[in-house]
Amino acid sequence: MLRYIAKRMVFAIPTLFAVSIVAFIIIQLPPGDYLTTLMADWASQGGAVEAGTVAAMRDRYGLDQPIYFQYYKWIAGILTRGDFGISFDFGKPVTELIWNRLGFSLLLSVLTLCFVWAIAIPIGILSAVRQYSISDYTATFLAFFFLAVPDFLMALSAMYIMSAWFGQSVGGLFSAEYVDVSWSLGKLIDFAQHVWLPVVVIGLGSLAALVRIMRANLLDELSKPYVTTARAKGMSEFELLLRYPVRLALNPLISTIGWILPAVISGEIIVSVVMSLPTTGPLLLRSLLAQDMYLAGSLILLISVLTIIGTLISDILLAITDPRIRLQ
C-alpha cells in the first residue's frame, strides 16, 4: 500500500514540472508582454507613453531576457525560497496575493463537491430503482438541462432572480458591512447566506454526470444474483439496497474525485468572475489578460497541484476500497 502511494507521488512530480513549463510558455505566447498592456492602459487614460520609461521598466522586470532564463529564475525562486516572484500588476509578491484566494477557492470546491454528492447519489439511486418511471425521467431531464445551460448564464439568472424577486444582496461572499471585519458568528451566518448560491450554480452543472454514473452502476448491480438471493431471504428492500448494491456502485464514483476537482475549479473561474467571488478565478483571468506572467504562472501551477492532489486522493481511496487495484 505504501509503495503504491509512493509510486503515485513520484509520478506526480514530472507531471507538475511539465505543467509549469507548458503554463509558462502559453502565457508568453500572445504578442507583447505586460508592458504592452500597461501602455494600452495608460493610453486609454489620456496618459503619455514614453518609450524610454517602458524600456527601463522592461529591463527592470527582466522582460527582455530569453524565456528559458525567465522560467529558470521563477522556478528556482519557488524551489529554493518558496518565492513565486512579483506581480507586476499589483507591485506585490505573488505569495501575498494568492493564499487567501486559494483558500476560498478550495473551500468553495469542497462545499460544491459535498453538495453535488449529497444530491447526485440519492437521485441516482432513485432513477436506477425506479428505472423508466416518471421520477427517473424528471430527474434525468433536469440533470441534463442543468448540464446544457452554461454556468455563467445560470449565475446571471440566479443573481437576477435573487436580487429582483427576493431582494437579496448578490455577488461576493459577504455583505458590505462584513467585508473588512474579522470572523465572528455574524460573519459566518452572512457567509452561509452568500455562499450557497455559487455552490448551487457550480454544482448543478456537474450534477448530470454523477447522476448518470450512479444510475448506470446501480443498474448493473441490481440485476445480479446476490440481490435476488437477499430479496428471496426476505430482507427489507431499503436495507438491501443500501447495504449491498449501493456500496458497490459507489466505487467508480470515488475515482471521479480525480476529474471532478479540476472541473469544479475551472467551472469556478467563470462563475467567480460573474459573481465577483474572492477566489483565484478572477485573479487568474486578469493576470492572463494583463500578461502578468509570474502571477498567472503561479496560479496555474497551484491549481495544477490541486488537481494532481485530487487525482492522488482518488487513487488512494480506490486502493483502499478495492483490493484489486492495490495488487496491480
Partner 1 sequence: MRYQQKLLGVVASTGLLSIMLLGPFAPAWAADYKQAPILDEQVKAGKLPAVANRLPEKPYVETMVDGVGKYGGTLRTTILANGDQYNLTRTIANELLVRWDPQWKKVMPSLAEEFKASDDATTYTFKLRKGLKWSDGQPFTADDIMFWYEDVFMNNALSPAKNPTFTVAGKPVKVTKIDDLTVEFKFETPYGLFLQQLAYGQGHLPVIYPKHYLKQFHEKYNKEGIPALLKANPAAGDWVALFNSKVSLSFQPPFWQNLELPTLNPWVLTVPYADSERVAATRNPYYWKIDTAGNQLPYIDNVTWAKLDDPQVMALKMTSGEFDFAFRHINNSTFKSVLFDGQKTGNYRIVDVKDLPASDAAILLNLTSTDPVKRKIFQNKDFRIALSHAINRQEIIDLVYVGQGAPAQVAAQPEHELFNERQAKQYTEFDPKRSNEILDKIMPKKDAEGFRLDETGKRFTINFMVADVFGLSYPDIMQMVQQYAKDVGIDIQIRTTDRARLNTMWAANEQDAYIWNCVGGLSDAYTDVRCYMPFQKADIFFAVRWAEWYANHNTGEEPPANIKELMAAYDKVNAAVTDDDRRERTKEFLNLSADNFLNIGISRPMPKYMMVSNNLKNVVNGLPIAGNLWHPAPTLTQWYFDKSTK
Which residues of this protein are in contact with partner 1, per CB under 8 A? Answer: 30-32, 36-53, 55-56, 60, 83, 86, 89-93, 97, 156, 159-160, 163-164, 167, 169-174, 176, 179-180, 272-276, 278, 282-283, 285-286, 289-291
Instruction: Name the residue nearer to partner 1 (CB basis): 62 or 122.
Output: 62
Instruction: Name the residue nearer to partner 1 (CB basis): 172 or 262.
Output: 172
The DSSP code sequence of 23-84 is: HHHHHH-SSS-HHHHHHHHHHHTT----HHHHHHHHHHHTTTS-HHHHHHHHHHHHHHH---
Please report how close the Cβ of residue 45 comes to partner 1 at its closest, in angstroms: 5
Instruction: Name the residue nearer to partner 1 (CB basis): 45 or 328.
Output: 45
Please report how close the Cβ of residue 185 comes to partner 1 at its closest, in angstroms: 20
Neighbour tally for 212: CB within 10 Å: 17
Please report how close the Cβ of residue 97 comes to partner 1 at its closest, in angstroms: 7
Phi and psi, residue 86, nearest 5°: -110, 140
Please report how close the Cβ of residue 171 comes to partner 1 at its closest, in angstroms: 5
Instruction: Name the residue nearer to partner 1 (CB basis): 15 or 53.
Output: 53
Q: Where are the beta strands (DSSP E) in the chain?
A: 86-87, 92-93
Instruction: Name the residue nearer to partner 1 (CB basis): 205 or 310.
Output: 205
Angle between helices 257-275 and 293-321 in degrees, nearest 10: 140
Instruction: Name the residue nearer to partner 1 (CB basis): 246 or 284.
Output: 284
C-alpha cell at 98: 494568492
Please report how close the Cβ of residue 38 comes to partner 1 at its closest, in angstroms: 8
Please report how close the Cβ of residue 273 comes to partner 1 at its closest, in angstroms: 5
Single-letter amino acid code for the residue at 42: W
DSSP state of 176: G
d(CA 96, CA 206): 32
C-alpha cell at 242: 443500501
Single-letter amino acid code for the residue at 70: Q
Angle between helices 94-129 and 280-289 in degrees, nearest 10: 120
Please report how close the Cβ of residue 147 comes to partner 1 at its closest, in angstroms: 23
Instruction: Name the residue nearer to partner 1 (CB basis): 57 or 142.
Output: 57
Cα atoms found within 13 Å of the Cα of residue 226, Cβ hemisphere only: 9
Contacts of residue 259, defined as CB under 8 A and 6 or more positions apart, other chains included, come to 311
